[in-house]
Amino acid sequence: MSKVILLNGSAHQNGCTRTALEEMIKVFEAEGIKAELIQVGAKAVRGCIGCNSCYETGKCVFDDLVNEVAPKFEEADGMVVGSPVYYASPNGTLVSFMDRLFYSTHFSKHMKVGAAVVSCRRGGNTASFDVLNKYFTISGMPVASATYWNQVQGLSADDVKKDLEGLQTMRNLARNMSFMIKAFADAKEKYGYPEVESECFTNFADGK
Separation of alpha carbons 198 and 204, rounded Å: 17
Question: What superfamily does domain 3-190 belong to in CATH?
Answer: Flavodoxin domain (3.40.50.360)
- Structure confidence at residue 203 (pLDDT): 83
CB atoms within 10 A of CB 42: 14
Question: What DSSP state is assigned to residue 130?
Answer: H
Q: Is the dihedral of CA 195, 199, 201, 202 positive or negative?
A: negative
What are the distances in angstroms from CA 137 to CA 74, 130, 156, 158?
17, 10, 31, 33
What are the distances in angstroms from CA 32 to CA 35, 75, 175, 205?
9, 16, 11, 48
pTM of structure: 0.94
Residue-level pLDDT, tens digit, the chain, 208 residues? 999 999 999 999 999 999 999 999 999 999 999 999 999 999 999 999 999 999 999 999 999 999 999 999 999 999 999 999 999 999 999 999 999 999 999 999 999 999 999 999 998 999 999 999 999 999 999 999 999 999 999 999 999 999 999 999 999 999 999 999 999 999 999 999 999 998 888 887 665 5
What are the distances in angstroms from CA 55 to CA 51, 59, 159, 173, 192?
9, 8, 45, 35, 28
- Structure confidence at residue 186 (pLDDT): 96
- Structure confidence at residue 95 (pLDDT): 97
Q: Kindly list the domain boundaries of the chain, sorted by start residue.
A: 3-190
- Structure confidence at residue 16 (pLDDT): 97
- Structure confidence at residue 208 (pLDDT): 52
